[in-house]
Amino acid sequence: MRRVRTKWGQVSNLSSGPLTIARCNRLVVRRQRRENIRMPSTTAYGPVSWERMIRAVEKVRERLLRATGALESAGVPYAVAGGNAVAAWVSRIDEAAVRNTRNVDLLLRRADLDRATAALAQSGFVPRHAAGVTMFLDGPDAGARDAVHIVFAGERVRNDDLTVAPDVDDAEASGGFRILSLDALVRMKLTSFRDRERTHLRDLLDVGLIDANWCDRLPVELAERLRQLVDDPDG
């Protein structure tokens, strides 16, 4: 007779014979039934909904337009950064290559934060500062995923960043709001260079907005990062 411990911590007596996985599973099931042990619950999935998928994309766009519209009306300088800026640039070349994003990232000067806070509050956004990130939640019950995230111009997003974020003046009007210039956007993505940023840079490479020639116009450290993606896009 052998004794083994199951995943729930009980000790079971097993008769002699080969202890196969299938046999062990049968013994565990018997013990569950005998002692009325409940299996851990599993996540219940709802049906696939095209409407919800489309709505998720529309909500991000609406949030972006509402936030930028509020800043425009208040005369607060800003620039759209992040995935929405990448999507805007990619759409100029190939709309089929546009990647949706759930993030709304805006570049602001810290000196304008109070004015921006007042303008965004009038459009229903709630200021929040958490984990070193300044954001504006899309309503009192919203979470960080439903928020506008702020990057401050002329400052490092992280202490170990190679360069500071560009100024809001390094932008241009496009599609109803102001987006970072391509040069400033690329530098920001190369500075952060996390997996998400590398994906965005690949998108820009794929449609020909940037290429190996850009390495000559960048600081050495950023040029090396771009060269990595040019030489090994999947790396």
Q: Which helix (H) or strand (E) holds 183?
A: helix 182-192
- Cα four-point dihedral sign 70, 158, 140, 101: positive
Q: Strands across the sheet with 171-174, in order?
A: 126-130, 133-137, 147-152, 104-108, 79-81, 177-180, 171-174
Q: Which helix (H) or strand (E) holds 221?
A: helix 220-231
The C-alpha atoms of residue 235 and residue 228 are separated, in whole angstroms, by: 8
Taking all residues of the chain, what is their mean pLDDT, rounded to a whole number? 87
- Cα four-point dihedral sign 100, 72, 124, 129: positive
Q: Report yes or no: 235 and 198 within 8 Å, Cβ to Cβ.
A: no
Q: Is the pLDDT of residue 175 over 50?
A: yes
The C-alpha atoms of residue 176 and residue 174 are separated, in whole angstroms, by: 6
Over residues 9-60, the pLDDT tens digits come to 444 454 445 556 666 666 666 665 666 655 555 667 778 888 988 999 999 9
Q: In this structure, what token pair is assigned to residue 154?
A: 């002329």
Fold of 54-181: Beta Polymerase; domain 2 (3.30.460)
φ, ψ for residue 107 (rounded to 5)? Answer: -95, 125
Over residues 55-105, the pLDDT tens digits come to 999 999 999 999 999 999 999 999 999 999 999 999 999 999 999 999 899
Q: What's the pTM?
A: 0.78
- Distant-in-sequence, close-in-space partners of 142: CB < 8 Å, separation ≥ 6: 126
Say if residue 207 is exposed, middle or buried (CB neighbours under 10 Å; 0-12, 13-18, 19+).
Answer: middle
The C-alpha atoms of residue 127 and residue 121 are separated, in whole angstroms, by: 8
Q: Report yes or no: 145 and 133 within 8 Å, Cβ to Cβ.
A: no
The domain locations on the chain are 2-35, 54-181
Q: Report yes or no: 98 and 91 within 8 Å, Cβ to Cβ.
A: yes
